[in-house]
Amino acid sequence: MYDEKQLQLFQGRSINPTAEIKRQIRLAMSGSRMSRDEIVDEMNRIAGQDGIKGSVSKATLDSWCKDDPSRLPSLPWLVVFCSVLRTAAPVGAMVEPLGYGVIGPEDVAVLKWAREELARRKATKRARLALESLEVGI
């Protein structure tokens, strides 16, 4: 029949996030009410405030959207882009092939609560077990 390893080779996903990062950049811009010129102006303003060297132009922004895999934003500029468009999707595309995800502030709060709740339940269970061991010894 078929060699299982051969099948796994073709079922596996690439860890190269380039195409998905570019797709998420395009989606973020298409969903924005800002023009590309406004996006560039805001990116350069934020970058200047935060000490990021250089600037981006509309041509640079356009190149990030093209299918050319060699034209990706650097990490600082990707973060600035995400900040301006209020999205983490391009960053999420970067970590998704590794099995990770990006969560928002509400999910962070839920995760913190869940961790505290688990710690509380474990402490309650340990206290109950300790009490049971005392009662057995009495």
8 vs 58, more confident: 58
DSSP three-state, residue 104:
coil
Three-state secondary structure readout of 67-98: CCCCCCCCHHHHHHHHHHHCCCHHHHHHHHHH
Of 83, 70, 90, nearest in space to 23 by CA: 90
Q: Give the rounded percent of residues in the chain with a pLDDT score beyond 70.
A: 90
84-110 pLDDT, tens per residue? 999 999 999 999 999 999 999 999 999
Q: Is the pLDDT of residue 137 over 80?
A: no
- Residue 32 tokens, joined: 């924005």
Residue 55 burial class via C-beta count within 10 angstroms: exposed 0-12, middle 13-18, buried 19 and up: middle
What is the C-alpha separation between 70 and 77, in angstroms, rounded? 15
Query: What confidence score (pLDDT) does residue 13 get?
Result: 75
Cβ contact 78:90 at 8 Å: yes
- The residue behind tokens 């050319």 is 68
50-90 pLDDT, tens per residue? 999 999 999 999 999 998 888 999 999 999 999 999 999 99
Of 55, 33, 27, nearest in space to 43 by CA: 55
Query: What confidence score (pLDDT) does residue 134 get?
Result: 87
| Average pLDDT of every residue of the chain | 90
Q: Is the pLDDT of residue 4 over 70?
A: no
Of 51, 41, 49, 33, nearest in space to 81 by CA: 41
